Structure 1
Amino acid sequence: MPSESAQPFEISETDRVTVYGAKNFPEVAGLLPDSAFLAEDDGRFPADVVLLFVGSAADLAHDLATAAAAVEPGGSLWVCYPTAEIDGGAPDLNRDTVASLVETNDWEPVGDAVLNSQWSAVHGRPAGK
């Protein structure tokens, strides 16, 4: 059975999970499934489920293509963003802005989730799939 933290991401025991950006946000460690591979910046690590943690719209615009390229056919992408203040700055991301950026990169937002009191996520799949 997947860990409780994996539930919002719809991760099964057999899914390969790659995570981008989590090293920048140590507070999200409890949200990650035990089997997750923490990717280095700009690497491509193919997975069934890719989690991308971003702190700003600029981070998302910069990192989305790398994370999306790591999603294997039939897989999915979760873009995780802060819904609360981080490091004293107000977040410039919300469900609508994340979904819009995901769409402009040929992905279809198919859902969203509240991960905890500080983080939410938009779930995407390749457009037309």
Structure 2
Amino acid sequence: MSSESAQPFELSATDRVTVYGAKNFPEVAGLLPASAFLAEDDGRFPADVVLLFVASAADLAHDLATAAAAVEPGGALWVCYPTAQVDGGAPDLNRDTVASLFETNDWEPVGDTVLSSEWSAVRGQPAGK
């Protein structure tokens, strides 16, 4: 995995973006693209780029399959998680934890970035793509 900084979600002007979990974290509103569709339930909302915000490894394990199913072929899934430095941050969730859960779900981590002083993210794609 490589660290990325400019334009952290690597979006094009035409990308369809679906966001899961952001409603639980009002502080991330400034990180979201203006055109993003906020998925409020477990439904499938196909997109070129899916952003999944989670607070713990258990949340990620529970929500990963739904978010991954929404990624259109050739698209990307970003798992966004609070850093351990944040009060109430997820000490059980880090780049390695996300990578491990990607791999057990037939995905592979292909990049990571720091979104803010409070949030980091790992980008994945289906394994073998």
TM-score (norm 1): 0.91
Give 1:74's aligned amino acid. G
Q: State the alpha-carbon separation in 2 of the partners of residues 99 and 117 from structure 1.
A: 21
Aligned partners of 1:20 and 1:67 also within 8 Å: yes
Gaps of 5+ in 2: 1-5
Aligned mates of 2:11, 2:28 — CA distance in 1:
16
- What amino acid is aligned across from residue 77 of structure 2 in structure 1? L
Which residue is equivalent to 2:30? 30
**4+ aligned runs moved over 2 Å, structure 1:** 84-91
Q: Which stretch of structure 1 is more off in the superposition, 87-96 or 11-20?
A: 87-96
Instruction: Give RMSD over aligned pairs.
Output: 1.5
Structure with greater contact order relative to length (CA < 8 Å, sep ≥ 6):
2
Quote the offset at 1:41 in angstroms.
Answer: 1.8
Aligned counterparts of 1:38 and 1:88: Cα–Cα separation in 2: 24
Cα deviation 1:44-68 (Å, max 9, x = unaligned)? 0000000000000010000000000
Equivalenced residue count is: 124
| Larger deviation, residues 14-23 vs 75-84 | 75-84
CA distance in 2, matches of 1:88, 1:12: 33
1:77 deviation in Å? 0.3
Residue 46 (structure 1) aligns with: 46
CA distance change for structure 1 residues 65 and 118 in 2, over 3 Å: closer, same or farther? same
Report 1:14-93 matches (<5 A).
14-84=14-84, 88=88, 90-93=90-93
Q: Which amino acid in 1 is paired with 2:56?
A: S
SS in 1 for 2:18: strand
The match for 1:3 is none
Unaligned runs of 5+ in 1: 1-5
